[in-house]
């Protein structure tokens, strides 16, 4: 009972701290000379604005059986509108070219959502290639073959020692020009190679954390090196490297924002374009940050569920 009361006390402290931080942010926003316009943001996420149908010629409007028919004064084929949500003319009205006839409500994905989709595509494709690159580079890092080991060390140190932004420029303007790569492919290649170097070190540390006796036991059972690594060592190493891998995957999602410098319309570039049209930078960047948080939070939650399932299977 005392332990439960102690736990509730610290949970209450946590809630009070969060409330205090929220109040501090709210008070700070009131002290700056800025007019908040949150109502401008939803249309750039999901656009529900109705589309107006206009008359292509002069004529007269007729409503028959739920259809709007506009007959032309010049003998053109009549315009028939079968579906509409709001009728702007009456039966028998004269209409002129360009006059609004009806409104059709529809749902369209806004530019921020399209940017989110592009960020997700970049992250998923880059993640797959980064894991493959990192796995082979990590295995080469601990290989007894000097050529493979030195190549792996050179790759890891070279990539980790240079900024991702510089690598993106090199992949797009130099390698991309030589190999005729489009923006998306160059961006994926840069992100994959960059993240793969960090994954390689995670894989190496995970494998080396397994007792050498595991490999010796597997070899004594008649397995060759590859079989022992695939069936015995890597499954154990995978469980141990899952938390740092999750952190690296989250970094990949955030690092994908840098590909906007080569004109890929990801979430960050879409945010800049929306800012230039709305003049509401704080609202837009808060919305962009929330979208990134949704992506990384979902990935973190999935990794935690996987980690619990793997620990339960031990």
On the question of pLDDT at 235 being above 90, the answer is no
Question: What pLDDT score was predicted for residue 212?
Answer: 81
In terms of Cβ atoms closer than 10 Å to its own Cβ (0-12, 13-18, 19+), residue 174 is exposed
Confidence grade of residue 313 (pLDDT, cut at 50, 70, 90): low
Confidence grade of residue 2 (pLDDT, cut at 50, 70, 90): low
Q: What are the residue ranges of CATH 1.10.3720.10 in the chain? A: 113-272+279-312
Helices (H), the chain: 2-31, 111-141, 146-160, 164-169, 176-179, 183-208, 212-220, 225-228, 234-255, 267-278, 281-312
Q: What architecture is domain 113-272+279-312?
A: Orthogonal Bundle (1.10)
On the question of pLDDT at 26 being above 70, the answer is yes
pLDDT for 136-168, tens place per residue?
999 899 888 899 999 999 999 999 999 999 999
Task: Look at the domain 46-109 and name its fold.
Answer: OB fold (Dihydrolipoamide Acetyltransferase, E2P) (2.40.50)
Question: What pLDDT score was predicted for residue 137?
Answer: 93
Q: Are 183 and 172 in contact (CB under 8 A)?
A: yes
pLDDT for 51-68, tens place per residue?
788 888 888 888 887 788
Question: What pLDDT score was predicted for residue 18?
Answer: 92
Q: What are the residue ranges of CATH 2.40.50.100 in the chain? A: 46-109
On the question of pLDDT at 189 being above 90, the answer is yes
């Amino acid at each position: 009972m005392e332990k439960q009361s102690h736990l509730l006390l610290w949970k209450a402290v946590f809630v009070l701290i969060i409330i205090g931080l929220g109040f501090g942010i709210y008070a700070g926003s009131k002290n700056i000379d800025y007019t908040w316009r949150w109502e401008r943001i939803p249309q750039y996420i999901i656009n529900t604005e109705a589309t107006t149908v206009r008359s292509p010629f002069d004529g007269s409007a007729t409503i028959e059986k739920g259809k709007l028919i506009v007959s032309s004064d010049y003998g053109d084929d009549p315009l028939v509108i079968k579906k509409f949500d709001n009728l702007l003319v009456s039966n028998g009205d004269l209409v002129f070219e360009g006059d609004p006839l009806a409104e059709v409500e529809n749902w369209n994905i806004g530019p921020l959502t399209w940017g989110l989709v592009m960020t997700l595509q970049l992250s998923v494709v880059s993640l797959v290639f980064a894991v493959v690159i990192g796995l082979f580079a990590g295995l080469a890092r601990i290989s007894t073959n000097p050529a493979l080991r030195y190549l792996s060390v050179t790759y890891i140190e070279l990539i980790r020692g240079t900024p991702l932004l510089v690598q993106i420029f090199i992949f797009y303007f130099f390698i991309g020009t030589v190999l005729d790569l489009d923006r998306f492919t160059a961006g994926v290649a840069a992100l994959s190679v960059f993240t793969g170097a960090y994954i390689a070190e995670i894989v190496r540390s995970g494998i080396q954390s397994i007792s050498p006796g595991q490999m010796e036991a597997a070899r004594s059972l008649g397995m060759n090196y590859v079989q022992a690594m695939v069936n015995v060592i890597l499954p154990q190493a995978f469980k141990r490297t899952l938390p740092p891998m999750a952190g690296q995957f989250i970094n990949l999602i955030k690092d994908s924002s840098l590909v906007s410098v080569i004109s890929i319309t990801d979430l960050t570039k879409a945010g800049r374009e929306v800012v230039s049209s709305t003049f509401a930078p704080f609202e837009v960047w808060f919305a962009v940050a929330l979208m990134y948080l949704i992506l990384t939070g979902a990935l973190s939650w999935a990794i935690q569920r996987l980690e619990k399932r793997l620990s339960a299977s031990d």
